[in-house]
Amino acid sequence: SFLLDLPSDLKQRGLHPAFHAHLLRPHVPNDDRRFPGRQLKQLAEIGQLEGWSISRIRSHSGQGTAALFEVEYSTGDCVWLPYHEVSRLESLGQYLEALDVPGIQHL
């Protein structure tokens, strides 16, 4: 995985800066003469966070607060995140409840 230095507007929209290497491609700047209207600020869909909301936590690896969690987004994409990044998610409570675990320390 790689941590990218994202523009501030993408950070404010909640885009996570960690990406797996297979998702990254070399950047080719847009040729606005050939493809007008494709600048970041011109794309209306970029601000719609509904497509990237967390659907559920699928599984985990490890124990307690050292565990990693497989998070599935509503788009179907999955990513492994450490406990400190999922600790405040409603999905974590639902996941622990489904496992019949009273708290993260018992995982």
Domains and CATH numbers, the chain: 2-42 (no CATH), 54-106 (2.40.50)
Q: What is the pLDDT of residue 65?
A: 92
pLDDT > 50? residue 96: yes
pLDDT > 70? residue 44: no
Would you say the pTM of this structure is higher than 0.75?
A: no
Q: What is the pLDDT of residue 12?
A: 79
Q: What is the pLDDT of residues 50-88, one digit of tens each?
A: 446 888 999 999 999 999 999 998 878 889 999 998 998
Question: Which DSSP symbol is given to 57?
Answer: E
CA distances from 10 to 14, 48, 77 (A): 7, 11, 18
> How many C-beta atoms lie closer than 10 Å to residue 29's C-beta?
5
